[in-house]
Amino acid sequence: MGKKFSKVTTSHWGAFNVFVENDRIVKTEPFHADPAPPNISKLVPNAVYHSTRIDQPYVRKGWIEKNPDTARGSDEFIPIGWEDAIDLAAKELNRIKNDYGNKAIYGGSYGWASAGRFHHSQSQLHRFLNSFGGYVSSFASYSTGAAQAIIPHVLGLNFHKITWGEINSWSSIGKHTDNLIIFGGINPKNSQVSMGGSTEHDVSDHFKKFGKMGKNLVSISPQKDDSPKETRWLPILPGTDVALMLAIAYVLETEKLTDQNFLNKYCSGYELFKTYFLGNNEHVAKTPEWASEITGINASDIKNLARKMALGRTIISVSWSLQRARYGEHPYWMACVLAAMLGQIGLPGGGIGFGYGAIGNIGKTAKRMQGPLFEQGTNPIADFIPVSRITDMLLNPNGHYNFNGKKRIYPDIKLVYWCGGNPFHHHQDLNRLAKGWQYPETVIVHEPWWTATAQRADIVFPATTQFERSDIGWAKGDPYLFYMPQMISPVGKAKDDYDIFADLSKKLYCEEKFTENQSSEEWIQSIYDKFYRQSKSLGINVANLETLKEKNFERMSIDLDEKDYVPFKAFRDDPIKNPLGTPSGKIEIYSERIAKFNYPEIPGYPIFNKPHLDAKFPLSLVSPQPHDKLHSQLQSAIEDINKYAVLVMSPQDARKRGLSEGELVKVWNSRGACLASLEIRKTIIQGVVSLATGAWFSPNADGLDVSGNPNVLTADTGTSDLGQGSAAHNIEVEVEKYQGN
């Protein structure tokens, strides 16, 4: 590996320099071209060599001894050699396949383990399981599950096509937008991260420019620091955004500020929906005064906001967080309705925007390319579950549930194979998940660290980190291309996921289908060569692999600042020739298809469903993304510095409970309890507390999570029968001073 050198690599939070001495990472430094580099990479040296690294394969004692009285999560592990571990896993996979079929295998992976295109854990696992005969898969993501269900019904497009394609760029907003109305915030800390990496972090810079230009930037959120300081904060109670949107619609309609021509030509169902928000025998009028009582926003402010939106070019921005709550489909649908009422969909700098600031590359002007890809193959098993319904699946095998107009049956899972991701970080109601996790006969996990998921496995394979292997770094919307060199030798007896699956596939007689007789380096060359040829065919010049290895990275010439794409322009220019993919071919303000599903919470148009909170717990909890890591990655290194998570509370709520800054507090409700260090801020509204995700689930003997993971408190319920997305936000809790040791 060489005694002393430095190289650039990339990650989901961007590029950085890695310094190596004597086969050991000694420090990292920011990438020179990044205007606002995250601090996350500083944790890398400690994390790579942390005591929580898994040094070799392990097997759970109670599982290998077939002791039914032992439980995952409270059992001890026995170290074993690689050959024995591979044999055990192969025999177990074969047994499950022969006894129950591949429909009894669930392939769990969340894809964030590495920014590299070949050593992409999700692709590796899914390709292996497809080679072996298939597996039960998952649909959508925890971040956007409800949105992925509702947007095709309303706009007729796949949600990710909207996010990455049909969206105004920051450049277009700068040139054309007068009003950027932000529901749920645009937080620069969230935009540190993007799938595959965001090399030039520039969200804050854009807002500095927008502020100097005098744009009307309004952030509607329970927390002031959910958006850059250039925005004007309009505090709102969690879960009430749809009530505000309906009141804005009321003002637009009653003051004749709607674009009726646009509604007539490009939309379907407005006249029917109008009777709901204007009021009739069944429904109260959604006036600003009505909304004020619900949202906590003055009626006069609601009226002024609506009028301002109608006076200039307006984008309605909706964060991903808004649909991560009960009835999360409605704010996305209603935001589309408001944009349609303003009549600016299809105009530069106007319309709707989903996910600005949620991840770093949304709104970038780089040309969308097909990057290097490790093909997963075809899954012979058609069965799937919505991704956030895993506990329901484990606890209710063969149970019935509704999803997007269909009545479905949960599969009976006997083996869970997890590679890349930590469900005991991001799933809801972790105590319930811990119960469901006991039901499969076998759990196999690949992990570099002893996360809560690894601690609840039966067979644990130690996996390398990205610094212990070579790869190609590329991200959608990012103009950079990286060769990610191997920096150090594998720590302990860790192996690459690919090599583990190659060994297993040999035992399972599917080696040729999985490996195609290629090593990791040959695969990297192969997928890069395909990318190289595709890029050339599009007129994009990229270096060949040997040149890229020598250069380490390059910035491709794929910026489109001068030719900003206008979302929905073709539809606006000719809705007959370029219809949307909805039944009507138009924007569906009323959806007859959804109405026929007969879901009470979604009657065919967007409505406000009042949050139902347990009155015994007077505080609403929001659980945003962390500022100091990606999900739960590098958490072991963070806990060496800060042992407890941080709970943010208003001064009024702290005084009411006799709490002081920095105190250790217990946050609890009917589902669980956790510890946190208290931070008192004036930037959060009274009645709301905030606890970021990312802590490793660490329950003590009393069931108290000492690390402070908010998902011991969140409800494991779907957003609705339509989307079945994660409903983590707007959860009721109480907070008190912790009295224990």
Question: Where in the sequence numbering do the catalytic residues fall?
Answer: 110, 112
CA separation, residue 24 to residues 44, 49, 116, 466, 582 (Å): 11, 9, 21, 14, 55
The answer to whether 154 touches 266, Cβ cutoff 8 Å, is no
What is the Cβ-side half-sphere exposure of residue 62, based on CA atoms within 13 angstroms? 17
Mention every residue, 6+ apart, whose C-beta is less than 8 A from residue 119: 466, 469, 471, 496, 497, 498, 520
Query: According to DSSP H, which parts of 372-449 are helical?
Result: 390-395, 423-426, 430-436
Q: Which residue has the tokens 């500020």?
A: 257
Q: For residue 643, how far is the Cα from the chain centroid? A: 25
For residue 521, give the amino acid letter. Answer: E
- Residue 104 dihedral angles phi and psi, to the nearest 5°: -100, 5
Q: Residue written as tokens 């539809």?
A: 571
What separation, in Å, do the N-terminal and C-terminal C-alpha atoms of the chain show?
46
Q: Which residue, chain included where needed, has tokens 């026929």?
A: 596
| Encoded tokens for 476 | 């959608």
CA angle 42, 20, 636 (to 5 degrees): 35
The total number of residues shown for the chain amounts to: 741
Strand intervals (E) in 211-367:
216-221, 232-235, 267-268, 314-318, 351-354
Residues 6+ apart with CB under 8 A from 196: 10, 12, 115, 117, 371, 473, 474, 475, 476, 478
Residue with tokens 């994009």: 540
